[in-house]
Structure 1
Amino acid sequence: MPERENSGFVSEPRNVVRKFLARPQHEGLGAIVRRSIGRFELKYFDPFLALDEFSVTAPAGFPDHPHRGFETVTYMLQGSVTHEDFEGHKGTIHAGDLQWMTAGKGIVHSEMPAAQGTQKGLQLWINLSSKHKMIEPRYQEMLSKDIAEVSKDGIKVRVIAGEALGTKSPIYTRTPTMYLDFTLKPGSHLQQPIPISWNAFVYVIEGEGVFGTSKSLPVAAHHLLLLGSGDGLEAWNKSSKPLRFILVGGEPLGEPLAQWGPFVMNTQEEINQTLEDFDNYANGFEKARHWRSEAAVRLGFSPL
């Protein structure tokens, strides 16, 4: 079968330098996640703090919990999830929809299934620089129909953040980031530029593909591939079925990291202050004192 190649030019393809299989584990209230970043072997890949492929069926989910100092990007693959927070924001995202949440100085929210059956998606945590950690919380939500989608030479890409096949996303990222959802038909060959100074990885959602060099072994679903130095990614679908994966890249912050669960700062002193703020409902957590999500009330949870 002849290869079909897109028009992106890559002169120094990045090799795969590490590979992980994301195995299922329990998280939240009965949810199952496959964690590939934020695990024992890979606690941080600057600026990325965590990547989970989640699977959740009601009444399981992620009830009321806090964040500070980073952003979460939730991308639905199947079903739907309802988000609520103590600022009064509430919304439901469905398959193909996206929520880009900046926790900033503090948010308490819940993420719970909104449909029958199993809901599946990806959640990425992106660190914020020290100058942005204490900004006001902010949301960017994009419906599936509003995410730019381009097809060429057997390659389809959904441009969530960054640019691909000449198309740019309107999403604003405080930490410069690219987030591309590729589907390659059998026989397709992709060349996608990546800024040389950025860290980048691939996560395979479906099918199997060859990444880095054409002689590499195929990689199947649920694998995370860390990419080495170079100016872009080359990928091939040499199988008989479609290959779907995300390519994510970001500019490293190069700053100290201090983390305690859902709080991510630069120093242990700042973490201690965050814990004190949360315990005392102060400096961004004031509304947590009396707030519970509708989901928490329905399930009988007490306030945090």
Structure 2
Amino acid sequence: MPETEITNPIVNEPRPIMRKFLARPQREGVGAFVRRSIGRFELKYFDPFLVLDEFSVSAPAGFPDHPHRGFETVTYMLQGAVTHEDFAGHKGTIGAGDLQWMTAGRGIVHSEMPATQGVQKGLQLWINLSSKHKMIEPRYQEIQSKDIAEVEKNGIKVRVIAGEALGTKSPVYTRTPTLFLDFTLKPGVSLEQPIPKTWNAFVYVLEGEGIFGSPRSLPTTAHHLLLLGAGDGLVAWNRSSRPLRFILVGGQPLGEPLVQFGPFVMNTQEEIDQTIDDFENCVNGFERAKYWQSQALADS
């Protein structure tokens, strides 16, 4: 397969691949399966990223009523649809290509359940919040697929979920500065994507196989996570005969202490103890949890 040469490079210090591993399926929620690559024993935390799940769920399985505090969740649908509802009265359905960027802040209890028949697939990324933002009020940014910036140029298609690529910026506001790009490369195409030097970044392959970091690297296939080392950007090649699709995610490290207890992420053990007490007693942000139940759970 002929390869597009990189001329006039915009990435002068390509980030090398520091670690690579396969995200294997595991059970999560109620009857759902996820391929977890960040937030498992091999990689507990990659500042500011707490969890990356590639999820697969079919009704009646799902993620019924559960709490969060201290971080943001980004849900990006690949197939099917999921309905979200929470104790503040917010409810919505996101389908293939849609995005929900939820700031849990000081506290939210919500559910995420399949909205259609068949298998629903997507990605969910947890992004840590700095200490000054952990107790802010919850908020949502829900963006339909048609409203996500998309650019196609020289055999490269990119959906700009957060940050900037190929001269196009996303309208999504991120409290923790974040880059989230969905790339598809045609066969024989190469890519350069700048990444701020001080940020941590990773690649997760969704479809096909690609070469990342160096032209001498071994090909990487679907469901593999690649942690990128130091440099000013990513270089990638598709030397296969099929399209290559992957996400590139980067974020500014917070550099703060981290204590996590399941869906609660704070800076100290005392704050975690306080969060558990707040949730159990339905106070300090969890007041509405006392009597709330999702419609999905009520109907089950």
Superposed, 1:144-293 pairs within 5 Å as 144-293=145-294
Kindly indicate whether the alpha-carbon contact (under 8 Å) linking 1:72 and 1:101 is maintained by their aligned counterparts in 2.
yes
Cα distance in 1 for residues equivalent to 2:146 and 2:7: 23
* Corresponding position of 1:302: none
Cα distance in 2 for residues equivalent to 1:8 and 1:138: 39
Cα distance in 2 for residues equivalent to 1:8 and 1:71: 34
* Corresponding position of 2:41: 40
* Corresponding position of 2:110: 109
* Corresponding position of 1:10: 11
RMSD between superposed Cα atoms in Å: 1.0
Match for 2:230: what amino acid? S
Kindly indicate whether the alpha-carbon contact (under 8 Å) linking 2:85 and 2:110 is maintained by their aligned counterparts in 1.
yes
Cα distance in 1 for residues equivalent to 2:96 and 2:6: 28
Spell out, residue by residue over 1:4-53, the C-alpha distance to the aligned partner (whole angstroms, 9 max, x if none).
65987100000000001000000000000000000001000000000000
Spell out, residue by residue over 1:82-124, the C-alpha distance to the aligned partner (whole angstroms, 9 max, x if none).
0000000000000000000000000000000000100000000
* Corresponding position of 2:128: 127
How far off is 1:125 after superposition?
0.1
Distance 1:5 1:148, change over 3 A: farther
The TM-score normalised by the length of structure 1 is 0.97
Kindly indicate whether the alpha-carbon contact (under 8 Å) linking 1:8 and 1:165 is maintained by their aligned counterparts in 2.
no
Cα distance in 2 for residues equivalent to 1:282 and 1:22: 37
Matched position secondary structure for 1:273 = helix
Q: What percent of counterpart residues are identical?
A: 78
Matched position secondary structure for 1:122 = strand
How far off is 1:2 after superposition?
3.8
The TM-score normalised by the length of structure 2 is 0.98
User: Structure 1: which 4+ aligned runs deviate by more than 4 Å?
Assistant: 4-8
For structure 1, the residue ranges without an aligned partner over 5 or more in a row are 300-304
Distance 1:37 1:6, change over 3 A: farther
How many residue pairs align between the two structures? Answer: 299
Kindly indicate whether the alpha-carbon contact (under 8 Å) linking 2:209 and 2:219 is maintained by their aligned counterparts in 1.
yes
Cα distance in 2 for residues equivalent to 1:298 and 1:209: 44
Kindly indicate whether the alpha-carbon contact (under 8 Å) linking 1:21 and 1:36 is maintained by their aligned counterparts in 2.
yes
For structure 2, the residue ranges without an aligned partner over 5 or more in a row are none
Matched position secondary structure for 2:117 = coil
